Structure 1
């Protein structure tokens, strides 16, 4: 029941800025049903006898009125002790799939958005970061890297406001995904870069809030703790956007 409350709280905060927009501007990443989809995009993650649902598990405790999940040092140590180099490869490929998605989104935004000022600056900087994340993960994985999927962002990059709203959801999902996988990383050589990417994704999430909520009485950080997402939750969320087409 505590876990359900935590997920519900996280879902409300992630979806609040998507309400009331035209259907083509909405990104349905908050209605989790446990569907382990986007098989084509993550086919390279599979090993014989493995499942995506077993790829991540949530480790944490509950704190605050929002019932946010918090990773404790003991839980992190226990999760890492049960990891393996093979699982680290799966984690990196999962991260690469998300980075492909984000990099393609920002590249399209720059190509078709016609943004100006602070929104253009945000799109340019974040596009560069996401492209660097992709190149870095590809370099680490080498021949074991999953292939880049095809994408359709359904017009969300055509206007600066729908772009920012979609960016917020993608960045929030990325942060939660990295937070969910970090305790399962076995090798310090992998944990370091993953942690560095997580920190930058969190800064992107903060930056887009500054742009999106400028002049509005909206709490940019309504909870004291960030709630991680499992792999199955993230894949289900990504599937519901319809952004990955092959």
Structure 2
């Protein structure tokens, strides 16, 4: 339960976005957070915030900036996708029903099965990441409260095939099963992980609430650890791809093809990087000349997960779109 001191600290310390402040107060009045009632919380907000008219959850006033809740819900959609992928790969089943409900149109998951890992290391990597992604979903849902969006429809089957065909990993008309073997799993994970890092970095300037920003930074750090782990596993893998039904010499080359495919979706600027650089050296950290990771806007992130370089509201891994206010890919 939330105590009065915690609520006061949470609002006074960091709730600079008035819309999110109102949402927090509304949620408190609806759910009764411990000993704190709506009346007690109202005394903690500024006069300007108290006088501002309440807006319906999930809607923006004309010309208003996107709210912190909208940004976190955008991130929650991505966490649903990652959690489902890793949980199916490691356990053969996805998120529990208690972690998928919310506002917006709920959807199920197509595809997914347990991977038959051939190395202990890859299995343990996957299990740790699965636990982290499930925790991210639970954490964001708790932070958002009643404003949390439900899990949208997710495709873990035909979407990967489309991405693999576009990248030239398989021949046209041939399927790609991300759960078929350890190597396929690592390539599929690579497709996600770098996107997660750039998504959180790109969203950071949009967050005005310092508590939310700190939380997002913490998740970004974890996603970066995950990405480096997957990139290292791909770089260190030994063996060809012919027996896997994939095109290319090795996983390093295959990862480069996926990197190029991502780059073709998110705009004209060449940002994405494979696991080797132009000199053939290890490139575990995709950074610029200053050693800084690059960012993607929410629209660019949606270009990749929708598998399109055009403005769209659905496609790819989200066949019916994501839930929440931030739902349209960029027109490139």
TM bucket by the smaller chain? Answer: 0.5 to 0.7
Q: Deviations over 1:177-196 (max 9, x none)?
A: 00011122111111111111
State the distance in 2 between where 1:245 and 1:181 align.
23
Does the CA contact (< 8 Å) of 1:92 and 1:141 recur in 2?
A: yes
Determine the structure 2 residue equivalent to 1:213: 235
Does the CA contact (< 8 Å) of 1:109 and 1:158 recur in 2?
A: no
Corresponding pairs, count: 170
Where relative contact order (Cα < 8 A, 6+ residues apart) is larger, the structure is 1
State the distance in 2 between where 1:102 and 1:46 align.
26
Gaps of 5+ in 2: 1-56, 93-113, 158-176, 238-251, 253-280, 308-314, 321-332
Determine the structure 2 residue equivalent to 1:202: 224
1:47 correspondence with 2:50:
no
Does the CA contact (< 8 Å) of 2:152 and 2:318 recur in 1?
A: yes
1:114 correspondence with 2:148:
no
Gaps of 5+ in 1: 1-43, 56-86
Does the CA contact (< 8 Å) of 2:286 and 2:293 recur in 1?
A: no
Give the greater-gyration-radius structure (CA): 2
Q: Which has the higher helix share?
A: 1
What TM-score do you get using the length of structure 2 for normalisation? 0.48
What TM-score do you get using the length of structure 1 for normalisation? 0.64
From the superposition, tell whether residues 139 and 176 of structure 1 become closer, same or farther in structure 2 (CA, over 3 Å): same
| Candidates 75, 79, 82, aligned match of 1:102 | 82
State the distance in 1 between where 2:230 and 2:154 align.
22
Does the CA contact (< 8 Å) of 2:71 and 2:203 recur in 1?
A: yes
Aligned-pair RMSD on alpha carbons?
Answer: 2.1
Does the CA contact (< 8 Å) of 1:45 and 1:93 recur in 2?
A: no
Q: Deviations over 1:51-72 (max 9, x none)?
A: 9xx75xxxxxxxxxxxxxxxxx
SS in 1 for 2:319: coil
Does the CA contact (< 8 Å) of 1:45 and 1:94 recur in 2?
A: no
For residue 49 of structure 1, report the CA deviation from its aligned partner.
Answer: 4.3
